[in-house]
Structure 1
C-alpha cells in the first residue's frame, strides 16, 4: 500500500530541507521530493531516518535503578546481572524484550542489534525440542514492537580467561565453538530470506572465548556475509588479564584470529592502545560506543575521536539500558571528549546523527537503512521542535544536543506506524515494562502500580 508523509523539515543526505514529501510503498521509500502537503499525512517538527541501537542486552533493562547504591564496579554489577539472567525463560524473556523494544521504538529506534547469549535452560541444558527457543523469543519480541532485529548469536565458552563456567554462565554456553556453530546454523536457516531479521554472530569477549575457538565464529560470519560483533577492552582488568595470558591485547588477539573486518564491530573499545586503534581502523572494523553504560558502570571514556580520525566508523548502542535514548548516546560521545580533553567541538552534529542512523544500520547488516532516499527502508522518526528542550534551537543541533527520546512523537518503522502522538501501538509501555520486570526481579506489584501510575507508557 502506498502512503505519503509530508515532513515539515527532514534531514536528507544533503542536509536539512523543508516541505519534504516522502512516499512509501510497503516497507520501502519510493519517492522523496519537496512540495506542498496536499492530502499527505503531516509530520510536524524534524524527521530523521530511523535510529539503530547497535548494541543491546534486553534483559539488562530489568536492572535499571536497582544497582546504584553502594560502592562497586563492573564486576559487582555483573553479579546482579547474573541473578536476573538466572530467572528468565522463553516466555518471560519474550514479555520483557517486547516491552524493552517498545521502549526503544518510543525513542525512535527502528532496528536493534541484540547481543544474545542467554541460550539455554537454567541448568545449561537446551530447551526440549528447540535449542534456539530464547533466540526465537527475541525475534517475536522485536516484531511485536515494530523493530527489525540483528540477532547476534553469541559464542560463550569459558567463565573467564582460563576459568571454567560456573553458575548462571552455564546457560550461556554450548560447550565449545563447534557446537555453538551447529546451533547457530539452525537459527540462521530458520530466518533465511526474512528481510526483517539478520542472524549475525558474536564472540562474547576474550574472557569467554579462547583464541583457538574464535576462528569458528569468524568463519560463520564469512560464510553467511553476516555481522560479527564482540565486546572489546571494556575494563582495564580485562586488558591486563589478556596481556598476561596471551602477551597481546584483546584487539591483537582478535586480529590474529581473523575476527576483524568490515562486517565486524568492536563494542565498547574503551581502553585501546595506539596499535589497537590502528588495527581496528585499517581492518574497517566498526566501533560501537555505549557512553551511558560506560559512565553508569564507571568503565571510562573511549577514544572515539582518535579512532574516527584514523578511519574507524563509529556506531552507538544503549547496552545495559541504564538509559534508552540514542540522542543522549550521540551527544555523550562529544561531551565525554570535552571532559577528557577540556576542549569543545570534536564532532559535528551531523556526524553524530549519522553514527546513530546509517552507520549503525550498516553495522547490523542493513546497509539499505538509515537514509531518507528512494529504495531505503521506510523508517521515519519525527521529533518535536517546540518542546521545552528544543524550542528556538537549530534543527540538527537541537536534536543532538538538546532533544531526548521524549521529543519523538511519530515513528514509522519499515512502513508500519508504530508510534503516533508519542504512544506505541502496544499501548501502555510503562505498564508492560513494570509487569515484565516485576516478574523477573520479584518486585512487588505495588511498585509496578506506582511506576505505571506516573508513567502510563509515556516518557514525558
Structure 2
C-alpha cells in the first residue's frame, strides 16, 4: 500500500528539517523530499517533530502489572523480585496475551514502534497442557501484532537459581520452575520451533550468569550465532551477582561471558551497572552493546551504570523501559544524561541528537532490525511524531526540536505513531486498541492476588 506523509518538521539524524515529504510503499520509505512547505494533495500531515520510530530494547511485559504496587514501603531489588514471582505464577497464554496487548498498545502511544521482549515465563502454570511448547512466546508475538508494533522475542535461557561453585549451580526454586527448560540444549530445541514473521524476529537471551550455568553459556551463544540473531543478557545489575560470580568462578560476570563466547557485536548487556575497568574494556573492545534502563535502575535502587565510559570504549548504547515503572523512551534518554550529570557534576555528556540515536537507530540495531531507526530511502516506514505545541514543548524554535523532545517532552506529547506505513496512533488515539486504559486495568486486575 502506497502512503504519502508530509512531516512539518523531521529529525534527519543531525538536524531538524522543515517540510519533508515521505513516500512509502510496502512498509518502506521509497522517497524523501525536502523543502516542501505545505502538505501536497493526498498526503497525511504529521504536525510536530517526526523522528524515526522509537526502539524499546528491553521489556518484561508482565512487570507492568507491578506498577504502583511496587512503590508501597521500602525494600531492595530482591524483595521486589519476590512480588514479581507472584505475578509470573499466574500468567497463562491467554492472560499474558491480554496484558501484553495492552502494554504494547501503551508503548505505541508512547511512540515505540519496536520492542525487545526479554521473555522467560515459558511454560504454562501447573503443567497445563497446550499443543505448542511456545504458547507463551506466541502469545507475546500475537499481542505485538494486535497492538500494531514490531517485536524481537528474546527467548531467554533460565536454568538455575544461583551459582554454587565453578562446576555446580543451584536448581531452580519452586517459583522459577516454569522458566526452565532443564538444559541449554532443550532450550535451543524449543526456541528453534519459533519462526520470524513480518512483524516479529526471534532472538536469544541469557537471563544472567546466575541463571545459566557457565558450561551452558556457549550453547546459547552458538544458537544465536548460527542464526545471526541478537543475544541479550542481564549483566552486573546487582553487586550481589558480582560477588557470587567471584566466589564461584574467580572472575567477574563480564569476564565469564567473554571466556564462554557470549560477547560480541550482536550481543547486548542490559544494565551493565557495576563494572570494573577491565569489564568496560572487554565490552567495548568486543563491540558488545549496552542497554540502559534508567527509570528501572533508579526505581529499584540499582545504581548508575558507567554509560559514558562504555560508549567511549566502543559499546553502542540503547534504551529500555524494563520493568515499566513508566513507559517513556524520551524519559529514558533524558535520564541517561541527567544521571551522568549527577554522578560527574558536569553537563553535556550527550547531545540531544546522540540520545535520539540511542533511542532509535542503535536500539533497532540491538534488536536485529538494522533497516529501522532512520528516516531515509529504503528504511522501514516507522515514525514517531512529537507535538511541539503542548504545555511542555511550546516555546522553543523548531530547529531545537530534538532538544525540546529529549529534555522537555514525554510520552504524553506523542501525537502520531506510524509502523510500516500504517497509522497506528493518530492524534494520540490508538487505532487498533480503542480503550487502552481499560484494557490495562482489566488485565492487571486479573493477575493481582
Q: Same fold (TM over 0.5)?
A: yes
1:145 aligned partner:
147
Q: CA deviation at 1:195?
A: 3.0
1:136 aligned partner:
138
Q: 2 CA distance for matches of 1:95 and 1:69?
A: 25
SS in 2 for 1:144: helix
Can you give the 5+ residue segments of structure 2 that lack an aligned partner in the other structure?
164-168
2:445 aligned partner:
438
Cα contact 2:13–2:357 (8 A) shared by 1:
no
In the alignment, is residue 46 of structure 1 matched against residue 49 of structure 2? yes
Q: CA deviation at 1:126?
A: 7.3
Map 1:48-447 → 2, pairs under 5 A: 48-123=51-126, 125=127, 127-161=129-163, 162-187=169-194, 190-191=195-196, 194-393=197-396, 394-425=400-431, 426-442=433-449
Cα contact 1:24–1:378 (8 A) shared by 2:
yes
Q: 2 CA distance for matches of 1:144 and 1:197?
A: 12
TM-score (norm 2): 0.96
Cα contact 2:13–2:353 (8 A) shared by 1:
no
SS in 2 for 1:440: coil
TM-superposition CA deviations, 1:61-110 (whole Å, max 9, x none):
00000011222100000000000000010000000000000000000000
TM-superposition CA deviations, 1:130-160 (whole Å, max 9, x none):
1100000000000000111100000011012
2:166 aligned partner:
none
Displaced runs of 4 or more, over 4 A: none
Q: CA deviation at 1:128?
A: 2.9
Q: CA deviation at 1:14?
A: 4.2
Q: 2 CA distance for matches of 1:380 and 1:205?
A: 33
SS in 1 for 2:331: helix
Q: 1 CA distance for matches of 2:267 and 2:417?
A: 28
Cα contact 1:327–1:404 (8 A) shared by 2:
yes
Q: 1 CA distance for matches of 2:129 and 2:338?
A: 45
Q: 1 CA distance for matches of 2:8 and 2:423?
A: 18
In the alignment, is residue 33 of structure 1 matched against residue 1 of structure 2? no
TM-superposition CA deviations, 1:111-132 (whole Å, max 9, x none):
0000000000224x47432110
TM-score (norm 1): 0.94
Cα contact 1:122–1:170 (8 A) shared by 2:
no
TM-superposition CA deviations, 1:166-211 (whole Å, max 9, x none):
1220000000101001101111xx33xx232110010000110011
| RMSD over aligned Cα atoms | 1.0
